[in-house]
Amino acid sequence: MEEKRYLTFALTKGRLAEKTLSLLESVGLTCEEMKDKSSRKLVFVNEEQKLRFFLAKGPDVPTYVEYGAADIGVVGKDTLLEEGRRVYEVLDLGFGKCRMCVCGPESARELLKHHEMIRVASKYPNIAKEYFYNKKNQTVDIIKLNGSVELGPIVGLSDVIVDIVETGGTLRENGLEVLEEVCPLSARMIVNQVSMQMQPERIKDLIARLRGKLEL
């Protein structure tokens, strides 16, 4: 009976979705409909395998999964930490690797050392709060931004930023550097808690197949 239900995937739009789809394809889960780039469809179906896929903005993926609109999601660890949704994190997919860091001009290093009341700009206020308040026991003023966070210290909005560093290119080009590392990041697979009870065999089998592939 279990096999008759659809298994619905919420994928993060962009590069993560492309890598996820090729990983899923390598273990036999496909969706031809999704390869048609001219299509304006939002939900893609593989009737034969009873699979459904849709693309969403990163921060919305854990929301769809928590509420059960998707059984499975693929999203960056940064988003999972920031959103704090009740979902099972079942697999580190190993791609989308980068680091969450405190960055700023070299001159801000002293401010961090002496636990001064500094201003921190970030797209990730919850991660910044957790790091400064709970891990470092430092009271700071956190300012939420929505992108191009590197501007913060450059134009004098903040002393430092908490942001994702991948190649380090953006920081270098703007005279900023990594001052402290908060945590490593990568793409994770998440599962709705009820789906895990309702379709345990199917989901566990998928996780095992993906884990096997990732360990190769």
Binding residues (CB under 6 A) for ligand PRP: these are 123, 147-150, 163-170
- Closest to ligand PRP by CB, 17 or 29: 17
State the minimum distance, in angstroms, from the CB of residue 161 to ligand PRP: 9
- Closest to ligand PRP by CB, 3 or 166: 166
Q: Give me the DSSP letters along 150-166.
A: THHHHHTS-SEEEEEES
- Closest to ligand PRP by CB, 34 or 164: 164
State the minimum distance, in angstroms, from the CB of residue 150 to ligand PRP: 6
- Closest to ligand PRP by CB, 51 or 74: 74
Instruction: Select the residue whose beta carbon is closest to ligand PRP and give its number.
Output: 147
Question: Are the C-beta atoms of 51 and 43 separated by less than 8 Å?
Answer: no
Instruction: For 45, list phi and psi in degrees, rounded to 5.
Output: -125, 140
CA-CA distance, 12 to 74, in Å (whole number)? 6
State the minimum distance, in angstroms, from the CB of residue 40 to ligand PRP: 25
Question: Are the C-beta atoms of 145 and 128 separated by less than 8 Å?
Answer: no
Q: Three-state SS for 114?
A: coil
- Closest to ligand PRP by CB, 23 or 164: 164
The 10 Å Cβ neighbour count of residue 89 is 15
State the minimum distance, in angstroms, from the CB of residue 176 to ligand PRP: 10
**12 forms bridges with which residues in the sheet?**
56
State the minimum distance, in angstroms, from the CB of residue 173 to ligand PRP: 8
The 10 Å Cβ neighbour count of residue 201 is 9
